[in-house]
Structure 1
Amino acid sequence: MLPALPVEAISAREAEMAAAGKGETPSGERSSGKKTRGTRSAPAGPAGRRGAAKSGQAGKTAGKAPKARKAGGRANGEAAAKAAELPVREGEGHWTAAELAEVRAGLEKQIAALRAEIAASASQIAEGDTSEGAGDDQADAGAKTYEREHELALSYNSQDLLTQIERAVQRMDGGTYGTCESCARPIGKARLQVFPRATLCVTCKQREERR
């Protein structure tokens, strides 16, 4: 048999068990049944607000990016479809958007160069008109007249060439580029890549030159 515990020890054990059943601490104090409330977080400072604003802007930018890609893809698709609709001769492949853009870039470069050349020529002709003197002899007057007529002829040729090139660009925009203006047949992709301002096919051009 186990030795009997003292009466004081049994009474203290029972008191602790009874206190535990009532929710009290061994010292006799009741444990609080209230839950501890969490402390409120301090309001975000300027740095926090700036970070939130940047995050919002980044979200908006990320949302716009797919729309921009869709718009770019739609434009590329329309350009490819427009190029493929241009007429070609039998045996030739259809125009691609890149090929048509390359031809157009070359035409626009020629337009810029011709406009600058025409402006410079007009300036030289105007200076020649004001610099003519009344004391020039017949030889000098004749030479100046010849030079002026030569410059005028070059200016007219440049102007005519500029008109042809601008017309070719307009035909691209109108969807009629590559169609012969005489017989309405395809001019030919290979011919236009070499001579992009052509408006007549080879047969109609040869017929025109024989007249």
Structure 2
Amino acid sequence: MLVHDTVATSRSQADADQIRASLRARYDELSAEYEHAMLQSQVLRLVEVGDTAGDDQADSGTKTAERDTAQSLLRTILDRRAQFEHALTRLDEGTYGFCEGCSDPIPVERLEIYPSATACVTCKQNRERRAA
């Protein structure tokens, strides 16, 4: 379980330690995933630079698409890692598990599925409606 079942603003040290370990483990996984993706991106660039002789438009387009996909993956991983870093900061501040919008507790089920959540379901839905 990632958060206390009660609505209290403080949680036991054991609960906080368990949450921190879970968040840190996911952060570390994302860091390793980023390093791996970065190495693959570098290899892709080296191959691309050294293998352009005889390329036609289709080859160039394929290489551009592969490069764009690799860059998108790197941005996505960095974004997800930043979310977990933010969750760890909120845990240290004592605000983890509470909505940044309305300050209500975020349901335990939501945090178990999406541990870096910063909004309750209602605030998240409102934000998505405004963005659409």
Q: TM-score, normalised by structure 2?
A: 0.80
Residues 152-194 of structure 1 show CA distances to partners (whole Å, capped at 9, x for unaligned) of 1111111100000010011111111122111122223343233
- The equivalent of 2:108 in structure 1 is 189
Tell me if 1:131 matches 2:47: yes
Q: Partners of 2:110 and 2:41 in 1: how far apart?
A: 36
Identity among equivalent positions (%) equals: 40
Tell me if 1:145 matches 2:64: yes
Q: Partners of 2:13 and 2:114 in 1: how far apart?
A: 18
Q: Please, which runs of 5 or more residues in structure 1 have no aligned partner?
A: 1-82
SS at match of 2:90: helix
User: Which contiguous aligned blocks of 4+ residues in structure 1 show a shift greater than 6 angstroms?
Assistant: none
Tell me if 1:165 matches 2:84: yes
Q: Partners of 1:171 and 1:103 in 2: how far apart?
A: 11
Match for residue 20 of structure 2 among 90, 99, 104: 104
Decide whether the 8 Å contact of 1:88 with 1:189 is kept in 2: no
Q: Partners of 1:197 and 1:87 in 2: how far apart?
A: 19
Decide whether the 8 Å contact of 1:121 with 1:151 is kept in 2: yes
Q: How does 1:1-211 map to 2 (within 5 A)?
A: 88=7, 95-132=11-48, 133-135=51-53, 136-211=55-130
- The equivalent of 1:73 in structure 2 is none
How far 1:88 sits from its partner (Å)?
2.4
Q: Please, which runs of 5 or more residues in structure 2 have no aligned partner?
A: none
How far 1:114 sits from its partner (Å)?
0.8
How far 1:96 sits from its partner (Å)?
4.2
Q: Partners of 1:171 and 1:154 in 2: how far apart?
A: 26
Q: Partners of 1:122 and 1:181 in 2: how far apart?
A: 32
Query: How well do the aligned residues superpose, as a CA RMSD in angstroms?
Result: 2.4
Decide whether the 8 Å contact of 1:192 with 1:198 is kept in 2: yes
Q: Between Structure 1 and Structure 2, how many residues are aligned?
A: 124
Q: TM-score, normalised by structure 1?
A: 0.52
Residues 67-120 of structure 1 show CA distances to partners (whole Å, capped at 9, x for unaligned) of xxxxxxxxxxxxxxxx87x9728xxxx844444333322211111111111112
- The equivalent of 1:76 in structure 2 is none
Question: Whose Rg is larger?
Answer: 1
